[in-house]
A and B are shown apart, each in its own frame.
Chain A
Amino acid sequence: MSRLVRFLHPPDDTQHWKGRYQPYDLVKEACIAIGVVALLALVLTVLFSSPDDKPSTIAQWSRELPVDFVTAATSELDGTSATAEYGPPYNHNGKGQHAAFLYPQKWLGVSHPINTANDFVIDPLKTVPENAALQSAVAEYQAAPEKTQKGWGEAYAKPLEEYAKATEEKKTPPSTVTPDSSTGAVTVQASGAGPVPTMMNGLLSLAQSGGLDGSLLTSKQFFQTDYTKPLLFMADGGLLSERAEGQHLLGDQWGMMNETGSYPGQAWLWLYTVWYQVEPFKASENADILVMLVMGVLSLAFICVPFIPIINRIPRWIPIYKLIWREHYRSSAAPPQTPA
């Protein structure tokens, strides 16, 4: 047993160097290295520049994909969108991801509260001036019991879902949803939807005018730097993912380690991204926390390499060091030269 322990973790008898030294100019070497790296970066810049695809806006989304916008907005209103059901840190509508007994998402709580119905739909609509019909519809919606609101939302969402399904399957879309390419309006034939059609038409107009982009950033102060609400709203729709798919940026296309164009992106994230491409992570509802835990363990192991048996012995067993120090070993083995 002790032989095995010594084999896997032998005593470290490495001693300081007592042999010869050679002249060395550290400052000169550093300056040359900086010059070479700067030159390399310059050459790469001249040859390839860097990507800068313009960001999407809610105005652009609502003009280019008005049905998709209305579908997403309806799901925000009736609380069925990905953001509405996300859970912490945005709301309490989901428990978040977990791994065994670990619920860190739930434990850390709601730190960026978002009520999708109010924040993405109702509050922006209240800012629309001189539209009595719209304000009346908003008031009617807010005054209704929750069950009635749910019924209205579901009745309006049903033809939109059928339209989205038909589009995805490349079939003829149902006639109950009619986008007007000349005006950008969307007509949804839905009975029993109460004031929702009026609200959605009002929100679509607000979005297409550019008003919703600003409205989602509004808070208690003038200067804004937090884009959480508009980004989450847009992520619930199809425009960002449509652009991302065209640029090979989806999760099953090695996702966020890539960037637009043919640039290397964050190649150093390959080990993080690779887990999402394989089972059991790929199909797991808790893929994110499982991948993060795996990476946490691997990162800890990376830091602790000097203390991990076998891993810290591999460099002795596989003699790549003979290649690295070949000059040293060769000169050490050479017989001493006889003075002339």
Chain B
Amino acid sequence: MSATPTRSSSWTVRVREAGVAALPPEKLLPDGQPTYVASWIYVFGVASIASLVVIVTSGSILALKGPAWWHYTGVGHFFNSIHMWAVELFFFVMVVHLWGKYWMAAWRGGRAKVWITGAVTFLVAVPTALTGYVSQQNFDAQWISTQAKDGLNSVGVGAFFNVTNFGQMYSYHVLLLPLAVVGLVAAHVLLVRNHGVVPPFKLDERPSLAPIAKDTDGPAVPTGAQS
């Protein structure tokens, strides 16, 4: 137990050192942010994560009691409503967040992976929500599943992803797809922490903006701040 493994012999040490090198504590949980991070648009990134937390919490309560609970109890219906509205908020703030990041061209400076993980998260969130709608065991579930099957069948997806199979859809909704969304969001946030928030455009790229142009970018230093 007391032996100190050498770097070349321990996978654990290698993983730890690589992790700390990529994200030292002050970079992972920063207590300062660049002064340009001063707009309401930055709120929508953390609001997306906050919505996801409310979704997972309310969804976990619904999962604890089983898929039929919310149909016959007021408390169950209450948590179902919280879950549904949190999903609506999640998509709303995520779309605003994505548009904000587009207009910032937030993929600049080697941040393409940050954009890609965010875009893929949105795309994976769509079937996550769909499987929720078809797992509701009510008329909405009947209608949406019988409508959605045609698009999925037409591209062959229906062969292994059957929206009229409640058991399969429930498994996807409460475990597999949420796991994917949470994993993607985690990767997205860690990439933001690693690269830092994208700096503003240099105004001298735009001659028409010359009167207030002043280059604020400089050589690389550790960065922090929110997404």
Q: Is the CB of A172 closer than 8 A to any CB of chain B?
A: no
Chain A neighbourhood of B126, CB < 8 A: 268-269
Chain B neighbourhood of A228, CB < 8 A: 162, 164-165
**Nearest chain-B residue to A231 (Cβ)?**
B164
Q: Is the interface of B mostly helix, strand, loop or mixed?
A: helix
Known A-B contacts A55-B142, A104-B156; A251 and B221 likewise in contact (beta carbons under 8 Å): no
Q: Is the CB of A37 closer than 8 A to any CB of chain B?
A: yes
**A36 to B53 alpha-carbon distance, docked (Å):** 12
Known A-B contacts A24-B225, A231-B142, A292-B155; A225 and B166 likewise in contact (beta carbons under 8 Å): yes
**A152-160, A194-202, A311-319: which lies at the interface:** A311-319
**B80–A50 contact, CB under 8 A?**
yes
Q: Is the CB of A286 closer than 8 A to any CB of chain B?
A: yes
Q: Is the CB of A244 closer than 8 A to any CB of chain B?
A: yes
**A289 to B156 alpha-carbon distance, docked (Å):** 9
Chain A neighbourhood of B65, CB < 8 A: none
**A322 to B39 alpha-carbon distance, docked (Å):** 11
Instruction: Pick from A37, A232, A293: contact of B54, CB below 8 A.
Output: A37
Interface size class of chain B, counting residues whose CB lies under 8 Å from the partner chain: 35 or more
**A45–B78 contact, CB under 8 A?**
yes
Known A-B contacts A15-B217, A33-B46, A38-B54; A329 and B141 likewise in contact (beta carbons under 8 Å): no
Q: A96: shortest Cβ distance to chain B, in Å?
A: 7
Q: Is the CB of B137 closer than 8 A to any CB of chain A?
A: yes
Within 8 A of A (CB), among B130-153: 130, 133, 136-148, 150-153
**A18 to B215 alpha-carbon distance, docked (Å):** 11
Chain B neighbourhood of A44, CB < 8 A: 81, 85, 88-89
Chain B neighbourhood of A182, CB < 8 A: none
**B17-25, B173-181, B205-213: which lies at the interface:** B205-213
**A112 to B156 alpha-carbon distance, docked (Å):** 12
Within 8 A of B (CB), among A85-115: 88-89, 96-97, 104-105, 107-109, 111-112
**B105–A53 contact, CB under 8 A?**
no
Which of B148, B200, B218, B223: most chain A CB closer than 10 A? B200
Q: A222: shortest Cβ distance to chain B, in Å?
A: 13
**Nearest chain-A residue to B146 (Cβ)?**
A235
Interface size class of chain A, counting residues whose CB lies under 8 Å from the partner chain: 35 or more
Instruction: Pick from A15, A22, A104, A326: contact of B32, CB below 8 A.
Output: A22
**A50–B84 contact, CB under 8 A?**
yes
Q: Is the CB of B61 closer than 8 A to any CB of chain A?
A: no
**A53–B49 contact, CB under 8 A?**
no
Chain A neighbourhood of B224, CB < 8 A: 21, 24
Known A-B contacts A16-B109, A26-B30, A249-B143; A34 and B50 likewise in contact (beta carbons under 8 Å): yes
Chain B neighbourhood of A333, CB < 8 A: 211-214
Instruction: Pick from A20, A231, A259: contact of B133, CB below 8 A.
Output: A259
**A25 to B206 alpha-carbon distance, docked (Å):** 34
Can you list 20 residue pairs at the A/B interface with Cβ under 8 Å? A12-B109, A14-B109, A15-B219, A16-B109, A18-B216, A29-B226, A38-B86, A41-B89, A52-B138, A105-B155, A109-B159, A225-B167, A231-B164, A249-B143, A286-B154, A292-B155, A299-B123, A303-B116, A303-B123, A321-B201
- 9 smallest CB-CB distances across A and B, nearest first, come from A225-B167, A18-B218, A14-B109, A306-B107, A104-B156, A108-B156, A288-B154, A33-B50, A108-B159
- Using a CB–CB distance below 8 Å, which chain A residues touch chain B? 12-27, 29-30, 33-34, 36-38, 40-42, 44-45, 48-56, 88-89, 96-97, 104-105, 107-109, 111-112, 225-228, 231-232, 234-235, 240, 243-244, 249, 251, 255-256, 259-260, 263-264, 266-269, 272, 286, 288-289, 291-293, 296, 299, 302-303, 305-307, 312, 315-316, 318-322, 324-333
